[in-house]
Structure 1
Amino acid sequence: MTTAPTLDTATDPAPQRPVRGGVGRPRQHTPRAARWITLAVMAFAAVYFLTPVWWLLVASTKTNSGLFTGNGFWFGHFALLDNLREVFTRQGGIYSTWLLNSVLYAVGGAAVSTLVSALAGYALAKYAFRGRELTFNMVLAAVLVPQPLLAIPLYLMFTQVHLVNTYWAVLLPSAVSPFGVYLSRVYAAASVPDELIEAGRIDGAGEIRIFAAIALRVMSPALVTVFLFQFVSIWTNYLLPVLMLANDRLQPVTVGIVGWQAQRSIGPSAVPTNIVITAAMVSVVPLIALFLSLQRFWRSGLTAGSVK
């Protein structure tokens, strides 16, 4: 009579648990010195970039005389409300007009540029046609061209068609973004499956409907990033509007603030320095609000095409 073999738990080794970070490989630890160096570099970068913002915030709460007395990086006599009132009432409230013009240029230009980038990037990624690679290489070359180099040629072109000193002189050059086309093409190639497009065609959907109902939704993180970059580029642009616009009522806030800064010591119409600083602080608020509201889309759009 035979007996079944029994498992001796006292002598058998315990089962091995897989080690995180790889099968059979020990976990790798970052040296403590490297972590501290990384934290020190990040802290230095944070202080370096946030110090001007902090100074701008503190300076906007001071009176004109308070800017030149006391600690420049700490609050003094609180005059923010008076400064804001002066900013929005000076010269008949022209600062509000400048802000509205900036919103028009930035929102309108960024929206059209995002749509054009989505259309061009999707076509370059998903349609095979003669000259596709040449077109994409030209887009890459356009990304490397500094925008100030195009200001004078644009001015001469718009002079011939009588668009100088109009809203179109700023809106039309903002309607195309080579970087937006590049990012949209990379993201469309990596995230829009060909099988999904074929399924839409089998179901009878046209190319426009496939793009609007499928591609735009999948590409939304990259498109939000394109919109954000183009919005910031247009909002902070100075050379193009100062070259194209002579009418104060058409100028964006960047040109208006520089004009006030140039008048800070000219006779009775001089603009105090604290008013110029407060106006600059107000002009930054829309950018901060936009970054905070779109940051999760922005982070995901920056990694577009990095993992396929």
Structure 2
Amino acid sequence: MYQKEGFAEYKISHGYDFDLLEFESLKPSGDPKVDHVRAILYNSDHPKGAIVFIHGTGQKNFEPLMYYPERFSQAGYTTIMPVLPYHFERTPLGQKSGVAFIKGTDVQLAKRFDQAVTDVITCVDYLENTGFKSIYIMGFSFGGMVSTITMALDKRIEKGVFVVTGGNYEYITWKSIATRVLRVSYEENKFCNPKECEKKHKLFEKAIMNFTSLTMLKDMPPCFTYDPSLFAKFISPRKTLFFTAIFDFFIPRKSSDDLWKRMGKPERYVIPSGHLSAHLFFKRFILNKSLAFFQNKEEEKC
């Protein structure tokens, strides 16, 4: 799991505002629609570095979040924004964008996370092959979870920004509004329930302490293998910037705090907003703080 095999063949189509990068997923699901990866690529003249930007789950958040890649490129950072598997044009026929990550068994979710992380690492491969030495990552919500696992595994990524995201699936599964569908799915099919989940997560701390190699994932409960909190200890707090929303009903505060603490309590901004309104009302704040962090100017605080 999370061990990429082979190399992708990239195709680039040049557009007016941005280019389109395409390749076939190195961890195919078997559905051609899901396995064809598309990523928008904002090139920058005389770039200082490159950023991989990861969107959240859902049906309408891709275009609004293009705000960040576009402005990062204007500030001198070539930025790539891949469409994650089971989202938007990579959604299987008859399904809704993003639902596959909040509905299904823990085994199915583990495979889907594996594909998502592998696709992001393949984007990092592209940036490295293009000649970039300074590569960063930024993720919103669900994209922050994928970004956490990716950064923990891929040491080519120097810095990470994590916005309204969290870890510890015990909190996310049973306390978040967004995962109501997942709870119903678990309970209907008897995969899990609050008591069983609590019982499993008593072993979670021990699993985190002992986790040193990807080969150990095969001996863990599947729900541990895609939990960002399991991977957080491999990310230096000096290389991390965190944003938490006070009134977030999608990522419970316990979940956000859990990931933040396990990252070593990096610099964090607590925003007086909800989950969706964090971008709506604070996008310029998030953008400016993120740029300052990438540019090593975080000490110049307002």
> TM-score by structure 2 length?
0.26
Whichever structure has more strand as a proportion of its residues is: 2
- TM-score (normalised: structure 1): 0.26
Quick check: which has more Rg, 1 or 2? 1
> Higher relative CO (CA 8 A, sep ≥ 6), structure 1 or 2?
1
